[in-house]
């Protein structure tokens, strides 16, 4: 059973980068053959999203990392590990983490790799970084998590672009993190981009618009398609279960938290999860109204945009749960103390550089 | 579970459709107000009221409200 605990590790700080340009879903004229833009916004809670088709996830993570490293007064040479969680990597190969090592000016003696997973990705990344740091060989590490530019212009009104950075460090005596994870690959096609991988390689067929039979929205085979009802049903049942299992396994009361930060799936789903767990809605911050569903960035983006100036003054207990594409889910509980939260980085300018 | 209560719970997810429209034989996907967004409300209602997790296929296969009632009942 995937319960994990890592001690002697703490979050030093969190930052997030988003495109400066704001897209309003209410401006979409042909939302769906079934519903209009206003109904979509009312149900999902996603009114605005940050979109800039120039920007990859790493283009958002790098400036966010620069900001956070400066706010923490860390030396770049001290950062010995970098995990980059994304399903929208810069290239098929190499790993984006390798490219970011050079862009950020990190040491060549740096452990760096990508982790390809979505909505549960920040929690996964936290467990990987925490496990790397827990024995003290590596003292400082960065976790990047997010999604941005897709293969083709993003037409899904749910998803926004964001790249986040979480700085973690070894600290003797720190309480650390407790995790629960789960996976159900039988739902692999509940959220899927069918073409462009090795199984269905890009062909003329990939660009043909298809009715996917749900939601009245047509997509080509390089765009994300979703079985909305299955995902919804999965989210409202699995997230509460994972939280209860974590609390039961480690013997704590899940109601005894200061903040509950959930993956920002959609408002209807998240509200129901809050209701099922009987949580105080005031302790459950949300940012999907302004930023949409930002995949693995959604939990740290919520912390940056909703909790800055609120949670840093005293030790705060956090419970965070990510769930979605995979199907995959993860829950983490931790106490944050003296966590630095950077101002949101709004990215407008692209790095002046010619990429291959 | 009672069919009558199920129909009431079902009808409560709609704002604009007249309550008299909801009967066991109602082909709910033909209702003007029905959309994949309403479907989410139905799944949420079934989860809350009956603690049953409906799949998308369960909703797709059901023609009438009574069909869906029977599906939920079989999963209790």
Q: How far apart are CA A339 and CA A316, in angstroms?
A: 10
Q: Do B48 and A229 touch (CB under 8 A)?
A: no
Residue A96: predicted pLDDT: 98
Q: Which residues of B touch A232 (CB under 8 A)?
A: 40, 43-44
Among A32, A157, A212, A232, the strongest candidate for a mutation testing the B interface, having the largest count of B CBs within 10 A, is A232
pLDDT block averages, 10 residues each, chain A of length 356:
96 98 91 87 94 96 98 98 97 97 97 98 98 96 96 79 98 97 96 94 93 77 91 94 97 97 95 94 97 97 97 94 97 97 96 91
Q: Do A39 and B36 touch (CB under 8 A)?
A: no
In CATH, the architecture of B3-12+23-75 is: Orthogonal Bundle (1.10)
Q: How many domains does chain A have?
A: 1
- Contact by Cβ (8 Å): A84, A95: yes
Residue A152: predicted pLDDT: 67
Task: List all residues 6 or more positions away from A166 whose beta carbon is below 8 Å from its beta carbon.
Answer: A11, A13, A14, A122, A125, A126, A129, A142, A143, A145, A300
Q: Which of B35, B44, B59 sits opposite A236 (nearest CB)?
A: B44
How far, CA to CA in Å, does A71 sit from each of A81, A106, A129, A352, B51?
19, 17, 20, 24, 47
Q: How far apart are CA B10 and CA B66, in angstroms?
A: 11
Which B residues, 6 through 35, put their C-beta within 8 Å of a C-beta on chain A? 35
- For the record, the structure tokens of A13 come out as 């700080």
Residue A190: predicted pLDDT: 95
Residue A29: predicted pLDDT: 86
Q: How far apart are CA B35 and CA A268, in angstroms?
A: 15
Nearest CA in chain B to A215: B36
Backbone angles phi, psi at A176, to 5 degrees: 80, -145
Residue A351: predicted pLDDT: 87
Q: Which residues of A touch B40 (CB under 8 A)?
A: 43, 228-229, 232, 268-269
Cβ pairs A/B, distance under 8 A: 59
Which percentage of chain B shows pLDDT scores above 90? 88
3-state secondary structure of A179: strand
Domain CATH for A296: 3.40.47.10
H, E, C per residue of A44-59: HCCCEEECCCCCCHHH
Instruction: Note whether B56 contacts A: Cβ–Cβ < 8 A.
Output: yes
Beta strand pairing status for A328-336 and A3-6? Answer: unpaired
Q: How far apart are CA A46 and CA A139, in angstroms?
A: 38
Residue A227: predicted pLDDT: 92
Smallest CA–CA separation between A33 and chain B, in Å? 9
3-state secondary structure of A166: strand
Residue A154: predicted pLDDT: 65
Nearest CA in chain A to B55: A230
Residue A126: predicted pLDDT: 98
Q: Flag whether the pTM goes above 0.90.
A: yes
Residue A51: predicted pLDDT: 94
Residue A125: predicted pLDDT: 98
pLDDT tens by residue, A275-292 = 999 999 999 999 999 999
What range defines the domain where residue A135 resides?
Answer: 1-356
């Amino acid at each position: 059973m995937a319960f994990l605990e890592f001690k002697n590790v703490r979050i030093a700080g969190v930052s997030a980068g988003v495109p400066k340009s704001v897209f309003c879903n209410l401006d979409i004229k042909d939302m769906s053959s079934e519903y209009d833009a206003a109904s979509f916004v009312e149900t999902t809670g996603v009114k605005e999203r940050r979109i800039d088709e120039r920007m990859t996830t790493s283009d958002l993570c790098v400036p966010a990392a620069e900001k956070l490293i400066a706010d923490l007064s860390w030396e770049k040479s001290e950062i010995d590990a970098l995990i980059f969680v994304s399903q929208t990597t810069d290239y098929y190969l190499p790993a984006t983490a390798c490219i970011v090592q050079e862009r950020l000016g990190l040491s060549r003696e740096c452990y760096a790799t990508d982790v390809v997973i979505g909505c549960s990705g920040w929690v996964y990344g936290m467990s990987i970084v925490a496990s790397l740091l827990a024995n003290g060989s590596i003292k400082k590490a960065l976790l990047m998590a997010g999604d941005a530019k897709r293969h083709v212009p993003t037409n899904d009104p749910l998803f926004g672009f964001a790249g986040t950075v979480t700085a973690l460090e070894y600290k003797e005596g720190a309480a650390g993190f407790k995790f629960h994870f789960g996976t159900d690959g039988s739902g692999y096609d509940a959220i899927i981009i069918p073409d462009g991988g090795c199984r269905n390689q890009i062909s003329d067929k990939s660009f043909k618009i298809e009715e996917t039979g749900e939601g009245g929205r047509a997509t080509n085979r390089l765009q994300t398609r979703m079985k909305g009802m299955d995902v919804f049903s999965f989210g409202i049942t699995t997230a509460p279960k994972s939280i209860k299992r974590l609390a039961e396994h480690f013997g704590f009361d899940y109601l005894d938290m200061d903040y509950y930060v959930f993956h920002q799936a959609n408002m209807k789903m998240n509200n129901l999860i809050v209701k099922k767990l009987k949580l105080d809605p005031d302790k459950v911050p949300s940012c999907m109204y302004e930023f949409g569903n930002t995949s693995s960035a959604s939990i740290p983006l919520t912390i940056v945009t909703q909790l800055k100036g609120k949670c840093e003054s005293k030790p705060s207990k956090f419970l965070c749960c990510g769930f979605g594409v995979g199907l995959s889910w993860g829950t983490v509980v931790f106490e944050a103390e003296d966590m630095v939260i950077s101002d949101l980085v709004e990215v407008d300018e692209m790095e002046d550089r010619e990429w291959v | 579970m009672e069919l009558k209560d199920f129909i009431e719970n079902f009808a409560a997810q709609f704002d604009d459709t007249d309550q008299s429209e909801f009967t066991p034989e109602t082909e709910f996907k033909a209702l003007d107000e029905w959309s994949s967004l309403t479907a989410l409300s139905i799944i949420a209602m079934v989860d809350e009221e009956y603690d049953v997790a409906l799949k998308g296929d369960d909703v797709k296969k059901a023609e009438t409200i009574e069909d869906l009632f029977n599906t939920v009942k079989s999963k209790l």
